Amino acid sequence: MWNKIYYSFPIQLLILHLRKNLALLFLWVILALIILQKFGSVLGIPYLFLDPEYLNEVSWQGFFLMGIALGIFTMSFHMTTYILDGAKFKFLAVIPRPFIQFCINNAIIPLAFYILYLYSFINFQLDNEHEAGEVFQYFLGFAGGSILIYTLIFLYFGFTNKDFFILFADSVEKRLKRSKIPRANMLKRIQESKDAKDKVLDYIDYRLRIELVRRDLSKFKPYQLLRVFDQNHLNLFIIQTILISLILLLGFFRDYPLLQIPAATSATLLFAVITMLVGAVAFWLREYSTLIIILFLVLFNSFSNSPILNRPHAAIGLDYDVEPVVYNIAALEQNLHKDTLQKDRENTLRILENWKAKFPQGSKPRMLMITTSGGGQRAALWTLHVLQQIQKASNNQAFAHTQLITGASGGTVGAAFFRELYLRAQLGEDIDPLDKKYLDQISADNLNPIIFTLLVNDLVIRNQYHEYNGRRYLQDRGFAFEKQLNINTKGVLDKPISAYRDPEEQSLIPMLPVTPLITNDGRKLLISPHSISYMGVSLGRIDGPNEKSQGIDFKRFFHHQDADNLHFISALRMGATFPFITPHIQLPSEPQMEVMDSGLSDNFGMQDALRFLHVFKDWIDQNTSGVTLITIRDSEKFSEIDPKLPPTIFQKMATPLKNIYINWDNVQTLNNEVLYNKHKEWLPFDLDRIEFEYATTDFLRDRGLLVQNSEASQQEREIQRASLNWRLTAREKVSILENINSIQNRSALDKITKIQFLEDPN
């Protein structure tokens, strides 16, 4: 019995994969770890698979597409392993439908994953309080997608793949002999087949019955048996080519919403493409495949900086056709002349005077400043929600008193959206900035088009363009992000940065500089409709040229490249560039300037806010009753210290990088605390702070900050922290919105109600 089990075809295939095809198994392992929420949980990757969103909702259609994608990935695994190892099992050549029977016996790994996926997503959906009937619809959608793709592919192979007797009974042999497709050395393959040590006693046939392997293969000529596999391999190669071509062809139609498939579907199709390419390479190159792949990678890397393969990811709106601006120390110093700094400062002083003029003459208004942290879509939703609650709690006074908003990444996106809604309401449009529908808009899925564009466009040579104000720009996943954000927010942010010059100057809305990090030298790029060079260097230039500037004024530096025409959503994307998800933008300079997420330098916007207070401290002291700094964090300020357990050797190797990643938030928080307390001590006016935090339910409960026995606390009892992503599940959205009900955040709102917005000097 043991021999029958051990030498059965399914077990022998599994052993062969473990011995020889670990690279292919690695893809299954990655998917399994994702499904089990053991990989990528911080970034919300498991939720993309367990809760796929399609057309801005989780439905059976999304699971149907997941079924198709997993079906294609499974078949790519079968096809590739058949190409690599099918000929080792000569008995396949003399049984009916050899490839289909191979798939049935090769199903242990895919079947185990399917069971794991079904259990995981059903359990996830039920845990998210979905009705059993609704979850059953999801299951039917997933099953329908998988069955559809298996049916189509198996029908193809059923009609095209031949066994030994069919192949040599008709003219297929002659057609193969006439084929111009090159074949590997047949004699060598015959010898390899003779040397094969794989032993199989029985297999599961297509009727799911156990059949004994035919042992009398000696009467068949080896080259005839191998010709059966050659014919099968040719059909496999054809279907692989068709599938890859269809996936890439979707790129030409990716602007259609129906084709913007779930992000997890795109990722699974990417895995399928990788697996099929392995099979195609093995089909053509045989034993030389490893060498050829290495040579290809070396050559590709050598030519990857050529103009064709290294075309820049552009900032939409800028002029890349004119002479690029010189980017060196001398050019930076020219933009930091004392007269330039003073001119920019005087321009902002006029804005401050206009801000003060909104209030009764002779009064001293309270100035508000808002800082908001990065954190992807959770930060965007949390920031917008908090701003709505602040405006409501202040009886619509807070934003009129707000002069400056600083921050990073998603927080800036949420703040910019609220600011635009507030501006339109100020200009007389029938808009209520406090309407909850805007929470749905800012939290709508923004990831599907990014990952889909990565699959069908950015992994190959980008060749599609779009126009903006008469200029053409190559499309990429960054453009997909901007376009989807524009769609989600109903086009209200679709304007150049110069469109905000007059509203900011008239103090209809607060100033909101976007400050991405320049990866070339670590400085900030200060993007604003006004020149704000004073934000990047000491106003007095005490040390002269020896003082390294901390920022570059975008408007002045790229004046000849039409800086005023920069698309505002492009500016937001420049400050929210998450590595690998959205590409770094290259700017028209020589050498080429490259920017990434603002959060790397100041994830909470505190440094910019305090610098502004320092530059204009005299005016603020004379004209206001002081400043209230409102900080909106998408993380806990105080985090519990985790217990230290004896690490394993692999943990020791990973600890340094892990500590840098985990503690980066803490390091910035501590530095900001030092800066804030120093400024509070020596600034000549009153400075206080009101803090809002998005924290996990467990954290709030442990600190006694959760409202006990409230409806919110009951709903949020088991909700974990929302992921760092550009897509949120329904449960994560609830977690974020209900967090305003914590004792800490309610206390902060209460402080908002007690702000004395106007102070009568008499």
Structure tokens at 18: 């473990």
Is 260 a residue whose pLDDT tops 70? yes
Confidence bin at 580 (pLDDT 50/70/90): confident
Q: What tens digit of pLDDT does each residue of 459-470 get?
A: 776 778 889 988
Q: Is 589 within 8 Å of 324 (Cβ atoms)?
A: yes
pTM score = 0.85
Q: What angle separates helix 263-285 from helix 60-85, to the nearest 10 degrees?
A: 10
Q: Is 739 within 8 Å of 713 (Cβ atoms)?
A: no
> Which one is predicted more confidently, 155 or 717?
155
Cα 108 from Cα 130, distance rounded (Å): 31
| 676 three-state secondary structure | helix
> Which one is predicted more confidently, 65 or 288?
65
pLDDT at residue 540, rounded to an integer: 62
List the Cα angle 431/432/437 in 5-degree steps. 100
Cα 681 from Cα 631, distance rounded (Å): 19
Beta bridge partners of 466: 473
> Which one is predicted more confidently, 658 or 577?
577
Q: What tens digit of pLDDT does each residue of 490-548 get?
A: 999 999 999 999 999 999 999 999 999 999 998 999 999 999 999 988 766 545 556 77
Confidence bin at 424 (pLDDT 50/70/90): very high
pLDDT at residue 711, rounded to an integer: 42
Cis preceding-peptide flag for 591 (omega within 30 of 0): yes
Cα 339 from Cα 62, distance rounded (Å): 59
Is 234 a residue whose pLDDT tops 80? no
Q: Is 608 within 8 Å of 669 (Cβ atoms)?
A: no
Is 659 a residue whose pLDDT tops 70? no
Q: Is 374 within 8 Å of 408 (Cβ atoms)?
A: yes
Is 760 a residue whose pLDDT tops 50? yes
Across 153-189, b (16+ Cβ under 10 Å) vs e yields bbeebeeebbbbeebeeeeeeeebeeeeeeebeeeeb
Q: If residue 364 lies in a helix (H) or strand (E), which one and from where to where?
A: strand 364-365
> Which one is predicted more confidently, 284 or 2?
2
Domains in the chain: ranges and CATH: 1-169+184-304 (no CATH), 325-638+650-759 (3.40.1090)
Mean pLDDT of 403-430: 96
Find, among 550, 561, 549, the residue nearest to 592 by Cα: 561
Q: What tens digit of pLDDT does each residue of 694-723 get?
A: 987 655 565 555 555 444 443 343 446 777
- Look up tokens 């800082």; give the residue: 371
Is 14 a residue whose pLDDT tops 90? yes
> Which one is predicted more confidently, 207 or 31?
31
DSSP state of 259: G
Q: What tens digit of pLDDT does each residue of 594-616 get?
A: 999 888 888 999 999 999 999 99
Q: Is 446 within 8 Å of 488 (Cβ atoms)?
A: yes
For every residue of 99-144, DSSP letters joined together read: HHHHHHHT-HHHHHHHHHHHHHHHHHHHHTT--HHHHHHHHHHHHH
DSSP state of 434: T
